[in-house]
Amino acid sequence: MTAEETREPDQRAGRPLAGQPVAERPVAGRPVMGGPVPGRWPGGSARPVLGTLAVLGLAGYAWVASGLPPFSGRALVGVLIPGAALGLIAYGRPPDRIPAPERIDLTGFSYWAICVAALLEWEASAFRDNSLSWHPSLTALIDPLIQPHSVRGAAFLVWLLAGWALVRR
């Protein structure tokens, strides 16, 4: 291990040490000559106002899009717009590839495979049985939970933020 790897996380080069004045914080072995950056929280975004406005804009979009009639052309466009935007961002700035593991964890893979197979079987048999009351589809079970507009808007916002998290990764 190198000396850099053995240091505590807050002592690595370029990271401020807690409790030190800003002018004495080392950056790559040198003290910072400026003062604190105005409008920036330690460890936070360089543009907190822009981030806040983006989240508020996404929340407003989620509120409007979740109010559209389901299975309509307008609802389709409301879902395709953020999907296309995130796709373009991901295409324009592809993330660094994570190297493939040397071998697959069969235990973890089997847990996921069993869950996916059970959900697919549930939906397929509900479709085959025309989603009778004794065997409803998962959508029919979830619909009453997300019926209120506020819950649908929050679910849409979570979907948007999950997509953004995948693009930033």
Phi, psi of 28 (to 5 degrees): 55, 40
Q: What is the pLDDT of residue 30?
A: 47
Q: What is the pLDDT of residue 119?
A: 92
Dist. CA 157–CA 146, nearest whole Å? 13
- pTM, two decimal places: 0.59
Dist. CA 26–CA 22, nearest whole Å? 9
pLDDT of the chain along its 169 residues, tens only?
A: 555 555 555 444 554 555 545 444 444 544 455 555 555 555 555 677 888 888 899 899 999 999 999 889 999 999 999 989 888 988 888 777 788 888 888 999 999 999 999 999 988 888 887 777 777 888 888 888 988 999 999 999 999 988 888 887 6
Angle separating helix axes 48-66 and 73-92, nearest 10 degrees: 150
Sequence ranges of the domains in the chain: 1-36, 48-168
Question: Could you give the C-alpha distances from 159 to 22, 66, 74, 94, in angstroms and in order?
Answer: 39, 11, 18, 20
Q: What is the pLDDT of residue 24?
A: 47
What contacts 24+ positions apart, CB below 8 Å, involve 144-151? 149/63, 149/66, 149/67
Strand runs labelled E in the chain: 26-27, 30-31
